[in-house]
A and B are shown apart, each in its own frame.
Chain A
């Protein structure tokens, strides 16, 4: 079974000065699954993301990805190892077109640099075309290809959220981490997003989903892990987690007496 684990997040403690944001959190993400990570505000969900993607180095604990210890890696090396993410507050390259945004992601897998660009070598041209074609494919996949030539900052909110996902997919990740992708969506948009996430999984990606919105997490996730005050308080099938008294107390609220 162990070789099914794509990302092993073991005994991670993350302290900022005297504040403990994560305390001995252990999460396994299995290849091909959609894992939902939920918890009240300030529970440490985004900190988990930041440790996984190298933004923070954990105070204690190890992160193994695909058999490799990724804690010592630089951020871009972690991306190259196969983890890509989106941001809770959208962070696109506003003054680049949608297409160029995704191309930056796709460029991560390319090798040509200054020399190739100056001489416009056949290899550089081929790589450039690959990036462009791949980016266009992803925009089409995400349903936003009609605005490929527009500056990212001019796109409507929903498009921007999807563009973030397209850009992350451009880096050809094994694990896609989505940080509250449904934030600010209405129910219809959430429904579309659910379908999109399932479609992404069908393409062979493993997905880690941080979400506030229960309808999204519970409908889409294969398994759910719950954080509260920096500790993991539950993990399991959505139905089980929903029934877990600790989770109800911490996150879903105590049910009415009726």
Chain B
């Protein structure tokens, strides 16, 4: 075991070295260079469906058995969206939610109902309604339960996820266990056709959603709201005694987390066109949580990375057949042993101290 551990350590150290090298190069860049680096990065992400065509990279990233772009559009993008939303609840506000799949299901089902079985609204109209309904569910779940803390909250949310799934299974008007089909796809825009054959437009739509959500969550994080969330996570009693209306901000965390989870559900339903209760098992809640914790709870970029790995790795490892879950599990354990705070933990206080106004900092 020792040499294995040592070589893993070495890999870790060289990765850290590479990171430091990148960071120093990044810091040396001017604003225009940085902007162009950003643009190139974003462009590369939008071009991801063609990564498999690139000689060396292609053989590394391609997924056996499933088309790479389908993995991106049906799994990776969904998981990234969900991880972003759950990171608000778990990572920022520190509320352990084991039933997050419930909000994802509410978003998907609302879109399904509105666009197929009971109404025939366009997907574009179902989108905001579904997000709003998910948010309402967040408040409905949060209002009575957010007085609980820690383990108790986790148990109640665990129940919530199951209640949603079982309700869908037993309600005839929700299609029962057969589910709902003929869910409308997003409207096609010019050459961008949202059909059943080409997954690329869905991936691009999802990626755009990810950027929009990141943009908005970034604003929240760097505001009074974000500070209140982190203060609650760090010490709820102290936060309240410093004037934070803890209940209100916890409810907001739930509502916003639910809204993003619902958005992921909308995107999923619009892509696959058919959902049933089995799409929303408890295991999914666990995987969502694993994504956030693995990536780096409390750091948006960590959550994204976690979402990518948890959704992509099982597909990439498909060659291991039955053993792939085991390999995946080992990979998770190794990460947690060597990076207990996740792959990309939130860095606090590495920023240079802000210059004091007026007289300048004392000493």
> Which residues of chain A from 75 to 129 have a CB within 8 Å of any chain B CB?
75-76, 79-80, 84-85, 87, 91-97, 99-100, 103-105, 107-110, 112-114, 116-118, 120, 124, 127-128
B125, chain A: closest CB distance, angstroms: 22
A46, chain B: closest CB distance, angstroms: 13
A7, chain B: closest CB distance, angstroms: 16
CB-based nearest A residue for B224: A107
Q: With A128-B224, A145-B353 in contact, is A80–B241 under 8 Å at CB?
A: no
Q: Does B322 contact A (CB under 8 A)?
A: no
Contact stretch, chosen from A18-26, A132-140, A222-230, A248-256 = A132-140
B358, chain A: closest CB distance, angstroms: 8
Chain B contact residue count (CB 8 A cutoff):
42
User: Is the pair A140, B354 in contact by a Cβ cutoff of 8 Å?
Assistant: no
CB-based nearest B residue for A127: B224
* Candidates B227, B352, B357, B360; contact of A133 at CB < 8 Å: B357
User: Is the pair B363, A118 in contact by a Cβ cutoff of 8 Å?
Assistant: no
Cα(A93)–Cα(B49), bound, Å? 43
Cα(A100)–Cα(B238), bound, Å? 14
Q: With A55-B241, A114-B256, A145-B362 in contact, is A96–B234 under 8 Å at CB?
A: yes
Contact with A along B230-266 (1 / 0, CB 8 A): 1101110111111111100000100010000000000
Cα(A85)–Cα(B228), bound, Å? 18
User: Is the pair A148, B241 in contact by a Cβ cutoff of 8 Å?
Assistant: no
Q: Which residues of B contact A131 (CB under 8 A)?
A: 224
Q: Which of B216, B230, B238, B359 has the most CB of A within 10 A?
A: B238
Q: Does A151 contact B (CB under 8 A)?
A: yes
User: Is the pair B349, A107 in contact by a Cβ cutoff of 8 Å?
Assistant: no
User: Is the pair A107, B228 in contact by a Cβ cutoff of 8 Å?
Assistant: yes
Q: Which residues of A contact B348 (CB under 8 A)?
A: 95-97, 151
> Which residues of chain B from 318 to 363 have a CB within 8 Å of any chain A CB?
346, 348-349, 351-354, 356-363
Q: Which residues of B contact A95 (CB under 8 A)?
A: 230, 233-234, 298, 346, 348
CB-based nearest A residue for B253: A114
Q: Does A191 contact B (CB under 8 A)?
A: no
Q: Which residues of A contact B243 (CB under 8 A)?
A: 76, 79-80, 105, 107-109, 171
Q: Does A28 contact B (CB under 8 A)?
A: no
User: Is the pair A105, B225 in contact by a Cβ cutoff of 8 Å?
Assistant: no
Q: Which residues of A contact B242 (CB under 8 A)?
A: 79, 84, 104-105, 108, 167-168, 170-171
Cα(A85)–Cα(B225), bound, Å? 22
User: Is the pair A149, B352 in contact by a Cβ cutoff of 8 Å?
Assistant: yes
CB-based nearest A residue for B240: A75
User: Is the pair B349, A150 in contact by a Cβ cutoff of 8 Å?
Assistant: yes
Cα(A66)–Cα(B225), bound, Å? 29
Q: Which of B224, B226, B240, B298 has the most CB of A within 10 A?
A: B224
Cα(A120)–Cα(B215), bound, Å? 11
B298, chain A: closest CB distance, angstroms: 8
CB-based nearest A residue for B353: A149
> Which residues of chain A from 201 to 249 have a CB within 8 Å of any chain B CB?
none
User: Is the pair A146, B357 in contact by a Cβ cutoff of 8 Å?
Assistant: no
Q: Does B223 contact A (CB under 8 A)?
A: yes
Q: Which of A55, A93, A167 has the most CB of B within 10 A?
A: A93
Q: Which residues of B contact A133 (CB under 8 A)?
A: 357
* Candidates A91, A117, A140, A149; contact of B224 at CB < 8 Å: A117
Q: With A79-B242, A108-B243 in contact, is A148–B224 under 8 Å at CB?
A: no
Binding site for A on B (CB under 8 A): 216, 219-220, 223-228, 230-231, 233-235, 237-246, 252, 256, 298, 346, 348-349, 351-354, 356-363
Question: What 6 A-B pairs are tightest by C-beta distance, nearest first?
Answer: A108-B243, A145-B361, A117-B223, A151-B349, A149-B353, A93-B234
**Given A108-B242, A117-B219, list of 13 further CB < 8 A pairs?**
A75-B241, A79-B243, A91-B237, A95-B346, A95-B348, A104-B227, A104-B242, A109-B243, A139-B356, A145-B353, A148-B354, A148-B361, A149-B354
- Would you mind naming 12 contact pairs between A and B with Cβ atoms under 8 Å apart? A92-B234, A95-B298, A104-B231, A104-B239, A105-B242, A112-B224, A114-B252, A114-B256, A118-B219, A137-B358, A145-B362, A149-B349
